[in-house]
Amino acid sequence: MAIEFGYTISKPRAIDIDRNNLRKSDEILREMPELQTCIGCGSCTAVCTAGNLTSFNFRRVHTLVRRGEYRGAYEEMNKCMLCGKCRLVCPRGINTRGVVLLLKRKLGDF
Amino acid sequence: MSFFAPFCLPFMIGAAVMFVLLAWKWGSWLWRLPEADKRLVAKGIFTRATPEAVWETVRESLLHRRIFRIDPLLGYMHMSLAFGWFLLISVGWIETVAYLGLRYVPLQGHVFFKYFATGLPHKPAFDFVMDLLLLLVLSGVALAWFKRLRSRALGMRRTTRHVAGDRVALSALWFIFPARLAAESITCALYGGGSFLTGGLGAWLAAHVGVMPLMTAETVAWWFYSSCLGIFFVALPFSRYMHIFTEIPLIFLRRYRLRSGEKQSSYDHFQVEACSRCGICIDPCQLQSVLKIDTVQSVYFLRDRRYGMLRREVADNCLLCGRCAEKCPVGIDLNTLRVNSRDALRNVPDERRYDYFQGLDRSSGEGRVGYFAGCMTLLTPRTMQSMERIFEAAGERVWWADREGGVCCGRPLKLAGETDSARRMMRYNTELFRKHGITTLVTSCPICLRVFREDYALEGIEVLHHSEYILRLIREGRLPLGRTTERLAYHDPCELGRGSGIYEAPRAVIEAVGELVEPAHTREEALCCGSSLANTAIDDGQQVALARNVAEELDATGAGAIVTACPLCKKALGRGTATEVRDLSEVVAARIRPAAGRATK
Ligand code: SF4
Ligand code: SF4
Ligand code: SF4
Ligand code: SF4
């Protein structure tokens, strides 16, 4: 049983897992507006080197993040090897490797 | 003779400040060198490396041979300033000795000798040489002025923008030699002496200006000259002119085999501050010439890094194509510095991120020869199929490392600055190779090739690019090929050419199956396809613009097809042209003659 001291030393997860908190999501889209043009086709996931070896699903992660679901996104993104296959197949020409790095940068403290 | 006048003070103070700052900088950089680097210095110092470094210092720091090769006029400008000034100082020294014999003369006595020597009998030979040297330097200064106004005349489309320290130093430097000319001429007007330049000007002044105004002007001119020197010396350690004194230790340390690595180290200071901000690296950069991005080139990157104002946007926006490093007259290892800056800006090791590598092995087949397709080749299945046909035709037994998927070679992650995590991939793959006991590792991806050669510890395993491997098969007579007259334009991938120094093998292979033609920029000068994994900043449209630009040159050769030796280049160029783009392995596989031996079997 944890004792409640009225403060916490854990990372600010407690505040931001709120489904409706789109602050990070907005920040991400501001820096990488092209992510909004994603049509959710899943090509990035289909060719993904990491996704081929694990349950990591790039499309799922970046879609959830855009909707304000950040929990576990950083850990999932860290499975990416940054190989760049996704960028070559994305029909919308999204800079997916840039997205990977951006998500990790923005969500690293979750 | 006393060698002091009040006007000497600015110079004396400036010079003292400069020497203290320099000693402090050099000292702390050397002191903070990693132990391994210090040992390299200790080992190298009493070898041939030292005299070789001395000679290189003369060649590059004084004569600027490498700049001459880029542009003779630009080379002359740098040479006249550096070498001219050096000669002025050393001949000035000899002149003092000639006049006074071997005796101690304080520094300002040498520098302002003309002022102090008025009472001595003249030595016209020295006057002449010194005037000639002054003229040499002045011509360099004039060219520098001219360069500011019209840099294109000196073979450069763009010149560098400056920081505050530079402006102060540059203004002072531009005035130093005109001021010296004025001061010496006025002294000659009053006391005679001088040769065609200072003497001539002095005579003219003596004829047109009265003695009293000349006396005042003399004091003012010498004060001005001394102040320019003083200001320049104080500003020097904070400005681009720090390169004058940094390039010299850099040359020595480089000869002692010190290198920058994926982590920043004290040695990097020598590289970063050796940049003269000459701006030669700006023109070769395609981000500048095609995309008009002009804040990210190596000169700006080094400047920002040096003054601690490097932003991620600048560090990230580079193709690491190496076109700039190829031209840099100081020979700075620009790509490595960029990578270790990215490492410092970003690297957050996450120990668990690749735990899923544990026990992973999707390889197939068996053989002493291993084939590592790499992620990009897995996206270009024709390359893969062609390699299969080539292996089969040569009767090679092959172990396929990653045909059914595998772990990336780690270079893309390294280039993005996550060097610690990249090491985990490298360890995984190394163990995989060892486990299957291969002795040769073939890859069709130059990105993988480079990291295998540079970062993996693969002793006992020969790493070959498929171009080298195919060429070997051809030379050994193991791959019977039919030649056609098809014209094939070859595109040098950055990682293969400038990155790994492989230019001949792919060309020899192409010539075995068709007629090789080359675009305008080729070999060391080859353009980057634009989709380099090293750049995570530019967008899709910009990548395509770069690809179009490169493809234009390739298409201009009128070749029937474009051939490259990198799966990423193939994908990238395909977006820039309607001409067919093929991998080297494809053109080879298409020309395999059914082997006589096999047919009759
Ligand atoms: S860069 Fe990352 S997300 Fe994209 S394909 Fe490679 S491993 Fe998957
Ligand atoms: S490939 Fe591109 S468009 Fe398709 S889901 Fe991935 S990011 Fe979105
Ligand atoms: S990096 Fe090299 S080419 Fe570029 S400005 Fe510096 S010295 Fe000149
Ligand atoms: S490596 Fe290439 S992209 Fe980067 S600054 Fe140099 S020329 Fe430009």
Task: Tell me the CA distances in angstroms from B593 to B480, B482, B495, one per residue in order.
Answer: 6, 6, 31
Q: Is B284 in the pocket of ligand 3 (CB under 6 A)?
A: no
For residues B141-169, give the mean pLDDT: 74
pLDDT at B490: 97
- Among protein residues, the one with the nearest Cα to ligand 3's atom 8 is B278
Render pLDDT for B211-236 as a digit per residue (tens, 0 to 9): 899 999 999 999 999 999 999 999 99
Together in a domain, B306 and B360? no
Distance CA B21, CA B27 (A): 10
Together in a domain, B250 and B180? no
pLDDT at B551: 96
- Among protein residues, the one with the nearest Cα to ligand 2's atom 4 is A41
What is the 3-state secondary structure of B243-286?
Answer: HHHHHHHHHHHHHCCCCCCCCCCCHHHHHHHCCCCCCCCCCCCH
Highest mean pLDDT among A105-109, B83-87, B321-325: B321-325
Copy the structure tokens of residue B144: 């520098």
Inter-residue contact B486 to B561 (CB < 8 Å): yes
For residues A103-108, give the mean pLDDT: 87
Q: Order of strands across the sheet with B369-372? A: B364-365, B398-400, B369-372, B440-443, B462-465
**CB-based contact A75 B353, cutoff 8 Å:** yes
Phi, psi of B562 (to 5 degrees): -100, 135
Together in a domain, B541 and B559? yes
Render pLDDT for A29-82 as a digit per residue (tens, 0 to 9): 999 999 999 999 999 999 999 999 999 999 999 999 998 888 889 889 999 999
pLDDT at A107: 87
> Of A51, A56, A62, A45, whose CA–CA distance to A98 is shortest?
A62
Boundary residue ending a domain (B218, B238, B258): B238
**Tell me, what DSSP letter sits at residue B591?**
T
| Residue B3, in any domain of the structure | no
Distance CA A85, CA B541 (A): 17
**Chain B residues within 8 A of A79 when measuring between CB atoms:** 353-354, 356
What residue spans define the domains of chain A?
23-107
Task: Please report, rounded to a whole number, the percentage of residues in chain B having pLDDT higher than 90.
Answer: 76
For residues B352-375, give the mean pLDDT: 93
Pocket lining for ligand 1, CB < 6 angstroms? A 44, 47-51, 58, 80-86, 96-97, 100
| Residue B598, in any domain of the structure | no
Task: Please report, rounded to a whole number, the percentage of residues in chain A having pLDDT higher than 90.
Answer: 62
pLDDT at B178: 94
Together in a domain, B318 and B430? no
Would you call B158 helix, strand, or coil by DSSP? Answer: coil
Render pLDDT for B520-544 as a digit per residue (tens, 0 to 9): 999 999 999 999 999 999 999 999 9
| Residue B183, in any domain of the structure | yes
The pick from B281, B301, B318, B333 for probing ligand 3's pocket by mutation, whose C-beta has the most ligand atoms within 8 angstroms, reads B281
> Which ipTM value was assigned to this complex?
0.85
Together in a domain, B69 and B106? yes
Give the CA angle between residues B543, B546, B550 to the nearest 5°. Answer: 140
Inter-residue contact B492 to B584 (CB < 8 Å): no
Q: Which of B161-170, B422-431, B439-448, B501-510 has the lowest mean pLDDT?
A: B161-170
Task: Tell me the CA distances in angstroms from B592 to B258, B377, B523, one per residue in order.
Answer: 47, 21, 27
Render pLDDT for B241-250 as a digit per residue (tens, 0 to 9): 999 899 999 9
Distance CA B465, CA B472 (A): 11
Together in a domain, B67 and B179? yes
The domain of B252 spans: 246-346
> Of B220, B248, B323, B231, whose CA–CA distance to B280 is shortest?
B323
Closest CB to A52: pick one of B376, B405, B571: B405
Would you call B311 helix, strand, or coil by DSSP? Answer: coil
**Chain B residues within 8 A of A89 when measuring between CB atoms:** 379
| Residue B45, in any domain of the structure | no
Render pLDDT for B555-590 as a digit per residue (tens, 0 to 9): 999 999 999 999 999 999 999 999 999 999 999 999
Inter-residue contact B67 to B60 (CB < 8 Å): no
Distance CA B362, CA B400 (A): 9
Q: Which residues of A touch B (CB under 8 A)?
A: 34, 47, 49, 52-54, 75, 78-79, 81-85, 88-89, 93-95, 97-98, 101, 104-105, 108
Inter-residue contact B515 to B487 (CB < 8 Å): yes
pTM, to two decimals: 0.90
Domain count, chain B: 4
pLDDT at B319: 97
Sign of the four-CA dihedral B424, B429, B433, B439: negative
| Residue B5, in any domain of the structure | no
Boundary residue ending a domain (B212, B238, B264): B238
Q: DSSP per residue over B177-223, as a string?
A: HHHHHHHHHHHHHHH----TTHHHHHHHHHHHS-HHHHHHHHHHHHH
**CB-based contact A98 B353, cutoff 8 Å:** no
| Residue B18, in any domain of the structure | no
Distance CA B456, CA B450 (A): 9
Distance CA A56, CA A48 (A): 9
Together in a domain, B443 and B549? no
Together in a domain, B192 and B89? yes
Q: What is the CATH number of the domain that holds B528?
A: 3.40.50
pLDDT at A12: 47
Q: What is the per-residue burial (b if ≥16 Cβ within 10 Å, else e) of B161-193?
A: eebebbebbbebbbbbbebbbbbbbbbbbbbeb
| Residue B25, in any domain of the structure | no
Inter-residue contact A87 to A96 (CB < 8 Å): yes
How far does residue B415's CA lie from ligand 1's centre (Å)? 15
Say whether pLDDT at A2 is over 60: no
Together in a domain, B86 and B232? yes
Inter-residue contact B232 to B212 (CB < 8 Å): no
List alpha helices for B307-354, DSSP H: 312-316, 323-327, 334-346
Say whether pLDDT at B473 is over 70: yes
Boundary residue ending a domain (B473, B507, B528): B473
CATH number assigned to the domain covering A23-107: 1.10.1060.10
| Residue B573, in any domain of the structure | yes
